[in-house]
Every structure is written in structure tokens, then in C-alpha cells.
Amino acid sequence: MWRIWKAAAAGGMAVALLTVTACGKDGASPSSSPSPTAKPKAQSTTNGNSARSLSQRGGGIIAQGTNEDAVIPIKVIGNTNYIPVSQLIQTLNYKSNWEDGHTKLQIGDNDANFELIMNTNKAVKDGAEIQLGQSVVQEGDNAYLPVSAVGDLFQDDMSFEVKNQELRIHPSTISTPPNEDAPDPAGTSPDLDFSDDPADPFRGDEDAEAAVPLLDQALPAWTDLGNDQVVPVLKNVNINAMIRKGKQYLGVKYRFGTGPYPKTGRFDCSTFTQYVYGKYGVSLPRVARQQGTRGNLVSRKSLRKGDLMFFYVPGRFKSNRTVGHVGIYIGNMRMLHASPEPKNGVQITNINKAYWKKTFLKAKRIVY
């Protein structure tokens, strides 16, 4: 069973990108499953000697009309401090999904960066298993994360502190357009403009025939030297043919945390790039953050067709340092990617907009 929980935009910010990359159990049609936790009611609290009006917004307790912290109350379970996972998900504007019979909770932006295994001390972050100090607890329909594990999993994604039996998440000071079509004077800076590399050998002629045979399955295409050094060993890829192949999937629906496309008929942002590159013998990791460690860095001023582009997903309480979305650059300020917005599914987007310019983190060249 699976169910996608779409997080409300924290601080009133509507995000144009996908919400977390955790989708449900693979299958053709969804069935409902319990939520990570019930929606809390509005409440008030006291800070020192002055009372302030609070509401439950985006899952965390946020002071109305202020730039104050989001506050998630701590619950003691068996002498251990826990927080309700759903409030963290909503506060960080993440997506989530239950799978494997409601025993695994996937969390992320546009793909599943995190997995919590219920009633165990096992978790997954960016594809790597983590042993937590205490177990994740499931009580009925609710999932609770030990406070001691918050930093292990989310220290790169938010700024926070534990105080007075509360987890206080500090708001981001980064100003980002609320959606990809919103104007932003800061986004007109020439320093943020994207540019094509005039020396790109695959400029134009997108309908050129493939120079190498199309593969039914991905082949190993990397030599791992350790210490995060990865050297591409496959270079003879016709980028125009690869882009043309990717366009064949335009309109295929998005599903957070989805499994392999041949099984599910769906993509999230990173399974799409993984699948398209895999068709040409290039093996990429499962999630966007891992894919961002591959290849060579490329300037936004020297983009070539086939480069992977990585972006953060903005939110009032989120970091602007972590990869939350990935797409394939196809030239002329356009990106081919899988996203739930503004359309639902594989689509082509004009990135010559303030939103994409300001959320851009890096580009990586995987093939040549």
C-alpha cells in the first residue's frame, strides 16, 4: 500500500518543484494507507513572559506573521525523546510515502533521500544505511523519530536546536521566488544567467541518429577510485540521440520514490535521469544527491546538452545547500525532467527564469 503525503508549503511558500522523493509501493494503482501522524490542532504557547499566537502550519508550530522558529513538541516514549515524523515532513515541505506494508517510510524532496524502518534503529540517508542510537517507533498510524537521530539524518537540511522539550527549527533567510513564473528582480542579475557552451559538439541536430547501439539495460560506466573520486569510462554517447530517447517519455506520470520504470510505469526526478542514462550504458545512483557526486563540475555559463542540472527545493525552514531535484539539460535554456509541477510527469521546462537561476546548485558532465 502507498500514499503520497504532499507537504504544505512552509511559511506560505508554494514550491514549484516536486515534494519529497518517497513514493509508495510499486503498483499500477494506489491504495490508501495511514498517515505518518494525525494533523495537530492550532494551539498557543508562552515564550518567557509574553504570549504569542501560534498555529499548526506546515506541520510545525509557527508564530503567525513573524519570522520565528517552527516548534515541534517532543514526546517521551519509554524514557526516550521523540518527535512526530509527520510534523517534520510538513515543516520541511517534504514528500513522503509508506511502503512495504507500512513498515518503511520514505522522505525527500523529489526523490526519496531518507528511509525510516519502523521499530528498528535502521535508516537510510542518500543511499547509505545508518545505524541510529535508538529505534524509530511506530504507534498506530504514527511514526516517531528519536531526537538523537535528527542531526544524524537532517543536519544538512535544516538549522535547529533542542530547547525546553521542543525541537526548534530556524527559518531560512534565503529569498526565493514562490514558483517558477514569479518575477524576482534579483533573478535578473547577469551573474545568474545560464549560457550554452558554443563548443558543444551536439548543438542542434537533435534528431541525429544514435552513434552507439541502444542498450536494454544499464552497463557499469564508472571506475570508483575511492575518496569520492569517480572517473567516467564511457564517452562515446550520442547526446542528441539520448535526448531524443528521453523525450519519448514526455507525459509519463511522476511518482515519489517509485521503483524501476519497467515495473511501475512511473518516474521521479532521479529515476528518470538514471533510466535515460542507463539506456546508453551509463550507470547512475538512485537518488539525485548521489548523482550529484558523479562526473565533472560545469559552470552555469558553459552548459552542454546532456549535462545534469541540480537544484535545491526552497522552503521557509530548509537549507539551500542540499540537492533536491535533478534534470537533463537539452540546450537553449531548456531542461528535460520528471516533476509533479507545473505539469505532472516528464516535461520540458524553460530554466531562464528567476526561480531556476536562484535554486541552481551545480551542473555535472557525465558523458561527453
Q: Do 313 and 93 contact (CB within 8 A), yes or no?
A: yes
Q: Do 203 and 196 contact (CB within 8 A), yes or no?
A: yes
C-alpha 324/C-alpha 320 separation (Å) is 9
Parallel, antiparallel or unpaired: strands 75-77 and 325-331: unpaired
Question: What phi and psi values does residue 303 have, to the nearest 5 degrees?
Answer: -75, 140
Is 325 an annotated catalytic residue? yes
Contacts 24+ apart (CB under 8 A), 129-135: 134/80
Is the peptide bond preceding residue 232 cis, with omega within 30 degrees of 0?
no
Is 269 an annotated catalytic residue? yes
Strand partners, 67: none
H helix count then E strand count, the chain: 7, 25
Question: b/e string for 89-121 if b means 16 or more Cβ within 10 A?
Answer: bbbbbbbbbbbeebebbbbbbbbbbbbbbbeee
Is 23 an annotated catalytic residue? no
Catalytic residue list: 269, 325, 337
